């Protein structure tokens, strides 16, 4: 946070004609895995293209929810399925060491393409929907702190955990 590129709107991508896509995705998966994140957007590694990745086997905050499938999503479009919003803790690799409570649509439909140009068209709820909304926000230059309604629910991970406000979990890095 502080790098002006994180505030930019990223460009649409043609997955078929983009020869650098494969190496971009490799960099992104490596970065996400190294940080134990649940998702990553291309602008976070300085590439201003509408590409996000996400996936997570365990959902500590939603133990009954199915795992988030490992997904490459290009030129995503999100449509909320209803007006319901849910609060949840988020973090971000671009805002290291912090967490905040962010409202997100609970139920969404998201569409886009994978790296081979195949259409992705899914409905998602809860943690899965939160991850997708967080990552796609990066493509429009929006970081999660911008969406925090009550800044009293924003703090350092170590302090929040020490004081028992949050419990540290795997798959907790982003969001
Ligand atoms: Ni993020």
For residue 174, indicate whether it is catalytic.
Answer: no
Cα-based distances in Å from 146 to 103, 114, 132: 11, 28, 17
Q: Which residue has the tokens 């896509």?
A: 21
Q: What is the pLDDT of residues 77-130, one digit of tens each?
A: 999 999 999 999 999 999 999 999 999 999 999 999 999 999 999 999 999 999
Distance (angstroms) between ligand 1 centre and the Cα of 175 equals 6
Ion ligand 1: residues, CB < 5 A: 92, 174
Contact 71, 120 (CB under 8 A): yes
Distance (angstroms) between ligand 1 centre and the Cα of 64 equals 24
Cα(156)–Cα(158) distance, integer angstroms: 6
Q: What is the pTM of this model?
A: 0.93
The answer to which of 21-30, 126-135, 159-168 has the lowest mean pLDDT is: 159-168
Nearest Cα to Cα of residue 115 among 52, 173, 60: 52
Does the pLDDT at position 175 exceed 60?
Answer: no
Contact 157, 99 (CB under 8 A): yes
Break the chain down into helix, strand, coil percent, rounded to 5: 25, 30, 40
Cα(118)–Cα(133) distance, integer angstroms: 21
pLDDT at 12: 97
Q: In 10 A of CB 23, how many CB atoms?
A: 9
Distance (angstroms) between ligand 1 centre and the Cα of 4 equals 15
Active-site choice (123, 135, 167, 174): 135
What are the residue ranges spanned by the domains of the chain? 4-162
**Domain 4-162: CATH superfamily, name plus number:** Peptide deformylase (3.90.45.10)
């Amino acid at each position: 946070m502080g790098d002006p590129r994180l505030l930019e709107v990223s460009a649409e991508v043609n997955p078929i004609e983009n020869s650098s896509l494969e190496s971009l995705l490799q960099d992104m998966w490596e970065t996400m895995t190294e940080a134990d994140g649940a998702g990553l957007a291309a602008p976070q590694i300085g590439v201003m293209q509408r590409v996000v990745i996400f996936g997570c086997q365990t959902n500590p905050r939603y133990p009954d929810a199915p795992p988030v499938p490992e997904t490459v999503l290009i030129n995503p479009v999100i449509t909320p399925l209803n007006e319901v919003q849910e609060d949840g803790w988020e973090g971000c690799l671009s805002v290291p060491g912090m967490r905040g409570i962010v409202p997100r649509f609970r139920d969404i439909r998201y569409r886009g393409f994978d790296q081979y140009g195949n259409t992705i068209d899914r409905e998602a709820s809860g943690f899965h929907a939160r991850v997708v909304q967080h990552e796609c926000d990066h493509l429009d230059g929006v970081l999660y702190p911008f969406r925090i309604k009550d800044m009293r629910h924003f703090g350092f991970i170590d302090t929040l955990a020490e004081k028992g406000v949050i419990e540290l979990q795997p798959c907790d890095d982003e969001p």
